[in-house]
């Protein structure tokens, strides 16, 4: 779609407002709006100014002026404002040099696609993320110098079997009992359907929606795979749609990986494959699980660099409440067909060459999709270029205690993966895809504002364990 076609699209839908959206370094979508009269071809050429110093990970106050350039290919009608509104995703540009901004995560993803083509290995990387989330009826949380708490409620939670509901019908779910139950236990069917249909309205193709294992409203709505940048755009739009459909129905949604103690966490299992000239480079009928050597080396790159990748793909302190044994958590740095506790699984639902792909299971939906997907493809390409052997596949039960002692596992905390990223990032800076400045900014922010912020505060359970000691 050209700028002229985007403007015509807005007119055909009687838009009265244009809303521009962009992503900060850590994955949050930002926006502001203007009258539709501002939606001109000049906007696409000249850009719209904003204060970069007020955006996390962007500019300092002495060089704060930045520009947004709308991408006409991303235009859609926003389904949530009362006034008809056309939305467009933007790239970030320096207003002086007119060059793309190196800390714009969307630019990083675009450079990763360019670098992929430059290698000659493939011309297209397809990604298919499975984004999980929890739907709650109520959430309260607060933190101060002398207190800290959170309180979550879900009508489906087993802790509500004794709640006075006049009447309480008793259709609650046990912990880890949320996978595919029918109504009336599944109370969120209509809500997920509304989410699914709204996703389709904004141009995101949906494959399936269902209740997930987490008993307190965990859900999954799978969307069709797409190229790296386009699927990252869609993940941002997906999260926007899911939150807003929930809010207008009186629910709240979280993409936190582990909001509920002792129940399953929310992941973002990411399917991926490389294609060249319309041919899937991951398929070989002679290989293990129909995988080519190219796919095996790609896996080798992912496994080698997994600790550093997780700084982007599992980027919160809460991510490491999920990546623990016993909850189908993919903590084991091995690959396997069908085994869901392996970090990399090869889906076996179909033997079609088009369906051959690998699934990296450690990421979660707090990730900035532009940076996470870019890091994955850069690691995979490093594996292919250096023919990194992933070793033999693992077909054993990876939940067994004795087995775990023999298997390399993911790092167990945010500070460890940030250390890994600091020590292992040459594969990311290849071709100028990730800049050193971006990496330094990202690591220092995460350490100071997230890891230290949690590490320095007493935890409520510490009072249970230690108050009377």
Model confidence over 124-181: pLDDT tens digits?
999 999 999 999 999 999 999 999 999 999 999 999 999 999 999 999 999 889 999 9
Model confidence over 9-19: pLDDT tens digits?
999 999 999 99
When mean pLDDT is compared across 5-9, 286-290, 302-306, 406-410, the lowest value belongs to 406-410
Query: How many residues does this entry show for the chain?
Result: 469
Model confidence over 416-435: pLDDT tens digits?
999 999 999 999 999 999 99
User: For tokens 């796919």, what's the residue?
Assistant: 295
**How sure is the predictor about 407, in pLDDT bands with cuts at 50, 70 and 90?**
confident
Give the DSSP letter string of 24-67.
-TTS-EEEEEEEGGG-SHHHHHH-EEEEGGGSTTS--GGG-EEE
Angle at 402 between CA 396 and CA 408, to 5 degrees: 70
Tell me the mean pLDDT in the region 92-115. Answer: 95
Q: What per-residue confidence (pLDDT) applies to 88?
A: 97
Q: What per-residue confidence (pLDDT) applies to 396?
A: 67
Q: What per-residue confidence (pLDDT) applies to 399?
A: 53
Q: What per-residue confidence (pLDDT) applies to 349?
A: 81
Catalytic residues: 51, 130, 132, 212, 220, 269, 340, 359, 361
- Mean pLDDT estimate for the chain: 94
Model confidence over 213-263: pLDDT tens digits?
999 999 999 999 999 999 999 999 999 999 999 999 999 999 999 999 999
CA dihedral (108, 110, 111, 117) in degrees, to 10, reads 150
- pLDDT beyond 60 at 398: no
Q: What per-residue confidence (pLDDT) applies to 400?
A: 54
Q: What per-residue confidence (pLDDT) applies to 402?
A: 45
Q: Give, as one character, the DSSP assignment of residue 450.
A: I
CB 346 within 8 A of CB 271: no
Tell me the mean pLDDT in the region 325-339. Answer: 80
Q: What per-residue confidence (pLDDT) applies to 152?
A: 97
CB 102 within 8 A of CB 440: no
User: For tokens 């900035």, what's the residue?
Assistant: 368
The strand pairing partners of 437, in sequence order, are none
Of 402 and 42, more confident: 42
This prediction's pTM: 0.95
Give the DSSP letter string of 366-419.
TS-HHHHHHHHHHHHHHHHHTT----S---S-TTSHHHHTTS-B--SSHHHHHH
**How sure is the predictor about 403, in pLDDT bands with cuts at 50, 70 and 90?**
low
When mean pLDDT is compared across 172-186, 342-356, 398-412, the lowest value belongs to 398-412
Q: What per-residue confidence (pLDDT) applies to 351?
A: 83
- pLDDT beyond 80 at 47: yes
Q: For residue 391, what are the CA distances in angstroms to 96, 137, 408?
A: 50, 46, 12
**In degrees rounded to 5, what are phi and psi of residue 103?**
-100, 10
Q: What per-residue confidence (pLDDT) applies to 64?
A: 82
Q: What per-residue confidence (pLDDT) applies to 250?
A: 98
- pLDDT beyond 90 at 324: no
Q: Give the H/E segment covering residue 236.
A: helix 228-248
């Amino acid at each position: 779609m050209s700028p002229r076609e985007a403007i015509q699209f807005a007119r055909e839908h009687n838009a009265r407002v244009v809303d521009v959206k962009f992503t900060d370094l850590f994955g949050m979508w930002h926006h502001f709006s203007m009258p539709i009269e501002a939606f001109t071809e000049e906007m696409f050429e000249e850009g719209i100014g904003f204060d970069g110093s007020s955006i996390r990970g962007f500019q300092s106050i002495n060089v704060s002026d930045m520009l947004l350039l709308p991408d006409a290919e991303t235009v859609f009608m926003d389904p949530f404002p009362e006034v008809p509104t056309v939305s467009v995703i933007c790239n970030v540009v320096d207003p002086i040099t007119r060059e793309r901004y190196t800390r714009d995560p969307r630019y990083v993803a675009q450079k990763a696609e360019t670098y992929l083509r430059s290698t000659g290995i493939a011309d297209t990387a397809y990604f298919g993320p499975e984004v999980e989330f929890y739907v709650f009826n109520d959430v309260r949380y607060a933190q101060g110098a002398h207190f800290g708490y959170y309180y979550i409620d879900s009508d489906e939670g087993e802790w509500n079997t004794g709640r006075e509901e006049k009447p309480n019908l008793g259709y609650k779910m046990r912990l880890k009992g949320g996978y595919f139950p029918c109504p009336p236990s599944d109370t969120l069917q209509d809500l997920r359907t509304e989410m699914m249909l709204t996703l389709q309205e904004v141009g995101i193709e949906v494959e399936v929606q269902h209740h997930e294992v987490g008993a307190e409203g965990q859900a999954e709505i799978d969307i069709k795979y797409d190229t790296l940048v386009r699927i990252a755009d869609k993940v941002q739009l997906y999260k926007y749609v899911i939150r807003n459909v929930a809010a207008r129905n009186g629910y709240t949604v979280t993409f936190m990986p582990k909001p509920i103690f002792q129940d399953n966490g929310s992941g973002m299992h990411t399917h991926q494959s490389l294609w060249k000239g319309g041919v899937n480079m991951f398929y070989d009928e002679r290989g293990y699980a129909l995988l080519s050597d190219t796919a095996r080396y790609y896996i080798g790159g992912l496994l080698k660099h997994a600790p550093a990748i997780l700084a982007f793909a599992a980027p919160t302190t809460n991510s490491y409440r999920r990546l623990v044994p016993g909850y189908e958590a993919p903590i084991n740095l091995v690959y396997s067909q069908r085994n869901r506790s392996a970090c990399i699984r090869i889906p076996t639902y179909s033997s079609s060459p088009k369906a051959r792909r690998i699934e990296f299971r450690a990421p979660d939906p707090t990730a900035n999709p532009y940076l996470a997907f870019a890091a994955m493809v850069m690691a995979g390409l490093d594996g292919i270029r250096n023919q990194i052997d992933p070793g033999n596949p693992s077909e054993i039960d990876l939940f067994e205690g004795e087995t775990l002692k023999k298997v390399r596992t993911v790092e167990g905390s945010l500070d460890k993966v940030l250390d890994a990223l600091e020590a292992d990032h040459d594969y990311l800076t290849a071709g100028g895809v990730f800049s050193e400045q971006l990496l330094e900014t990202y690591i220092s922010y995460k350490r100071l504002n997230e890891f230290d912020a949690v590490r320095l505060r007493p935890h409520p359970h510490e009072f249970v364990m230690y108050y009377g000691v």
